[in-house]
Structure 1
């Protein structure tokens, strides 16, 4: 599998998602039962755009994808809070499922890049014999 190419696709996805969050934060916040938090949606959008730009700047480096994984954890945490506030909201449930799937893809890509281009994690050097 070409993990570098996959990482570039994730970069495009990050920029597109971030742009949507930057351009329609009120609409997204309302759909996710958080109408009082468009600023949070906007901040998440800025983070996504920055993640996409970092991927393009250093495509093929797993650290940029591990950074996406950290962002995914933030997204899952925020969506979990939204799900507790509005347990019947199908948009929140769908977003949780989608972000979980993207998180799995991010982890697979980061691990693949670690194998292909050198380990970013763990940070310590392997012992030489």
Structure 2
């Protein structure tokens, strides 16, 4: 989202000023805001687990909302467009605050580690059983060149349970 907004502000600053009904003299400020958005977006893409980037977005959102409030007071302001932009910016600010505060947590994130689901966990209603033994060892970090033929059955069962848990599959019935 940040990259899209930022690139738009960098590419079309005068057009955005015209749409909002503010002076084109503010195009430089619009470009600066675009640069800030791109920096936040790149930070989130390169370091998605660092909350500082989310807080940087929140700080930028506060700046955006402040400028929109000032723009509403201008005589030539296009209040229709400004209202729509303000509503969108407010919604994005709420999302950013939830993400920055850590209130919004994905159930797939455990201590900074993403557990692959592939949509095949028991809660998704997908055919979890059909994925067992299908060569998904690379998804759980197993070496494709490692032979398990010399391992005892209990160790193999433990490894299967661990792989199933990491893939989000239902518990294996190993009593057979």
TM range (shorter): 0.7 to 0.9
Give the number of aligned pairs. Answer: 106
* 3-state SS of paired residue (1:109): helix
Aligned pairs (5 A) from 1:7-46: 13-34=1-22, 35-46=24-35
Say whether the 8 Å CA contact 1:62–1:114 is kept in structure 2. Answer: no
Q: CA deviation at 1:36?
A: 2.3
* 3-state SS of paired residue (1:37): helix
Say whether the 8 Å CA contact 2:20–2:78 is kept in structure 1. Answer: no
Change (3 A) 1:96 1:114: closer
Q: 1: distance between equivalents of 2:91 and 2:72?
A: 17
Q: TM-score, normalised by structure 1?
A: 0.74
Q: 1: distance between equivalents of 2:70 and 2:21?
A: 10
* Deviation readout 1:2-59 (Å, 9 max, x if unpaired): xxxxxxxxxxx10111011111000001111223211111111000000101111211
RMSD: 2.1
Change (3 A) 1:88 1:39: closer
Q: TM-score, normalised by structure 2?
A: 0.55
Change (3 A) 1:90 1:114: closer
- Matched residue, 2:61: 72
* 3-state SS of paired residue (2:73): helix
- Matched residue, 1:49: 38
1:93 corresponds to 2:79? no
* Deviation readout 1:90-109 (Å, 9 max, x if unpaired): 11111111101100000111
Q: Which 5+ residue runs of structure 2 have no aligned equivalent? A: 113-176
Structure with more relative contact order (C-alpha pairs < 8 Å, separation 6 or more) = 1
Structure (1/2) with the larger helix percentage: 1
Say whether the 8 Å CA contact 2:19–2:78 is kept in structure 1. Answer: no
Q: CA deviation at 1:114?
A: 8.7
Moved over 6 A (4+): 113-116
Q: Which 5+ residue runs of structure 1 have no aligned equivalent? A: 1-12, 119-129
- Flag the structure with larger Rg: 2
